[in-house]
Amino acid sequence: MKIINNPSKKDWNKILERPTKTVGDIENTVNAIFDDIKGNGDVAIKKYTQQFDGVAVENILVSEQEIQEAIAFVSGDLKNAIAIAKENITKFHAAQKTEKVFVETAVGVNCWQEKRPITKVGLYIPGGTAPLFSTVLMLAIPAQIAGCKEIVLCSPPNSEGKIHPAILYAANLCGVTKIIKVGGIQAIAGMTFGTATIPQVYKIFGPGNQFVTVAKQIATKFGVAIDMPAGPSELLVVADDAAKASYVASDLLSQAEHGVDSQVILVSTSKTLIDSVLIELQKQVLALSRKEIAVKAIENSKMIYVENDAIALNLINEYGPEHFIVCTKDNNYYIDNIENAGSVFIGNYTPESAGDYASGTNHTLPTNGFSKSYSGVNLDAFTKSITFQEISKKGLQNIGNAIEIMAAAEGLDAHKNAVTLRLKDLE
């Protein structure tokens, strides 16, 4: 892990670069697959599943029998853990419901706003090197609370052509209406265009690798919305001598083990802490089952020493981390002034993995600096706001003349006339 001391601000952009390819590097591949699936549907889906996942799947739709087998296979301990997580995630997202907003903007002019669910949503659940059944909870629970009628889930099959039992169990538990054994670019394309088996959806949710992230961005060209560009995982920890080095190292490794293209960063005002964390990293990584992945991710990662909290905060806001852990002598300084972060974890006893699983907050978060403009998944992500207005005779008389003057000033005579006709009838 590279240690950088007091970097000049002009070098921050270079230092904070993510280890990801650009959209241009991947776009041609994504477009070719999208075109094929748009024209050839399930045939193309199965072709790419065999090409990229190395398995031939005859029926890509998960059957009820497969779901029941998965339910029986999942251990009681895991079911209990999932139940705890589900309860907390449900509490947090249900609390995000908002009432109808109603305002009489002028006498006789009533305006209000109501939230309505997105009817058809698609959930992408990575399989790859780790079956992320926790992401099923993070996406399906708010979709269900919002009232989405169709909840379609896509996840890549394993070498046996099956989806991990815990993913199927969680999907069934959380009201997913259809589960498809397909991953990668082909899953995003399938939900974008629809096939004989995969329903077309209005919005696609979920994290993925760089190819899935670009595929989601390409999907927007075809009228499908996405939650956010959520790519390879990343974590930034700001810590000083108030932090415990072993805890900091464990958090850095918890994100590094996600994938070789993950990135973790430690920012500190303490060189002593940096040295201690480095020792802990070297010790703890040896015990990981995903040691090789974590080691490669660490190669993309950095420890950055800065002189004070103000410099640290500016650097962090410039980076815009997906996950942000604060463990310093003055946590409130960072809490009060952070501008760009997906989710914030505070103090020695708030590991990032708590948010990944069971604290209740959502772990589907903007990466690659998109926290500067995107929020993580929340209940509102599964709804849209519709505005309503109802104007009485008195109300139109109150605002009608203003409408006429403004429409005439813009040269829109029909707009003006739609009001003038009504006002004359009211004279």
pLDDT reported for residue 7? 96
Distance CA 213, CA 230 (A): 6
Encoded tokens for 131: 């079956």
Candidates 116, 197, 121, 187; CA nearest to 155 is 187
Residue 363 lies in a domain: no
Helix (H) or strand (E) holding 145, with range, is: helix 133-146
Mean pLDDT value across residues 88-98: 98
- Look at residue 77 and tell me whether its pLDDT is greater than 70: yes
Q: Model confidence at 25, in pLDDT bands (50, 70, 90)?
A: confident
Residue 384 lies in a domain: no
Query: What is the CA 345 to chain-centroid distance, rounded?
Result: 17
Same domain? 73 vs 138: yes
Contacts of 302 (CB under 8 A, 6+ apart): 1, 2, 3, 4, 15, 265, 266
Split into its structural domains, the chain has a count of 3
Same domain? 37 vs 182: yes
What pTM does this model have?
0.93
CATH number, residue 250: 3.40.50.1980
Phi-psi region of 395 (alpha: psi -120 to 50; beta: other; left: phi over 0): alpha
Partners of residue 95 on adjacent β-strands: none
Give the pLDDT confidence of 101-116 residue by residue, as tens digits. Answer: 999 999 999 999 999 9
- Look at residue 128 and tell me whether its pLDDT is greater than 90: no
Residue % of the chain over a pLDDT of 90:
92
Q: Is 368 helix (H, G, I), strand (E, B) or coil?
A: coil
CA dihedral 29, 33, 36, 41 (to 10 degrees): 180
Least confident of 88-102, 118-132, 242-256: 118-132
Between vectors from CA 256 to CA 20 and to CA 357, what angle results, nearest 5°?
110
Q: CB 8: neighbour CB atoms within 10 A? A: 7
Distance CA 166, CA 89 (A): 17
Residue type for 206, please?
Answer: G
Residue type for 312, please?
Answer: A
Encoded tokens for 36: 């094929």
Distance CA 21, CA 119 (A): 34
Same domain? 16 vs 63: no
Residue 130 lies in a domain: yes
Per the CB < 8 A criterion, the answer to whether 255 and 264 are in contact is: yes
Encoded tokens for 5: 């001391």
Per the CB < 8 A criterion, the answer to whether 243 and 303 are in contact is: no
Same domain? 85 vs 217: yes
Q: What is the C-alpha R_g of the chain?
A: 25
Residue 372 lies in a domain: no
Domain boundary among 199, 230, 261: 230
- 223 DSSP 8-state letter: T
Residue 355 lies in a domain: no
Same domain? 95 vs 224: yes
Q: Model confidence at 21, in pLDDT bands (50, 70, 90)?
A: low
> What share of residues in the chain are helix, strand, coil (percent, to 5)?
50, 15, 35
- 57 DSSP 8-state letter: -
Same domain? 226 vs 319: no
Encoded tokens for 269: 């005002």
Same domain? 182 vs 313: no
Q: Is 295 helix (H, G, I), strand (E, B) or coil?
A: helix
Domain boundary among 230, 258, 281: 230
Same domain? 180 vs 267: no
Same domain? 79 vs 136: yes
- 281 DSSP 8-state letter: H
Same domain? 37 vs 136: yes
Residue % of the chain over a pLDDT of 70:
99
Q: CB 139: neighbour CB atoms within 10 A? A: 30
pLDDT reported for residue 49? 96
Distance CA 11, CA 19 (A): 16
pLDDT reported for residue 209? 85
Same domain? 72 vs 212: yes
Per the CB < 8 A criterion, the answer to whether 355 and 363 are in contact is: yes
Same domain? 277 vs 326: yes
Residue 195 lies in a domain: yes
pLDDT, mean over the chain: 96
Domain boundary among 350, 383, 409: 350
**What is the b/e burial string over 179-188, where b = at least 16 CB atoms within 10 angstroms of the residue's CB?**
bbbbbbbbbb
Residue 346 has φ and ψ, to the nearest 5°, of: -120, 125
pLDDT reported for residue 275? 97
Residue 300 is part of which domain span?
A: 2-20+232-350
- Look at residue 20 and tell me whether its pLDDT is greater than 80: no
Residue 371 lies in a domain: no
The full length of the chain comes to 427
Give the pLDDT confidence of 140-163 residue by residue, as tens digits. Answer: 999 999 999 999 999 999 999 999
Give me the active site residues, please: 322-323
Give the pLDDT confidence of 357-397 residue by residue, as tens digits. Answer: 999 999 999 999 999 999 999 999 999 999 999 999 999 99
CATH number, residue 401: 1.20.5.1300
Helix (H) or strand (E) holding 2, with range, is: strand 2-5
Mean pLDDT value across residues 329-343: 98
- Look at residue 269 and tell me whether its pLDDT is greater than 70: yes
Q: Model confidence at 232, in pLDDT bands (50, 70, 90)?
A: confident
Give the pLDDT confidence of 203-216 residue by residue, as tens digits. Answer: 999 998 889 989 99
Candidates 232, 220, 231, 226; CA nearest to 34 is 220
Residue 101 lies in a domain: yes
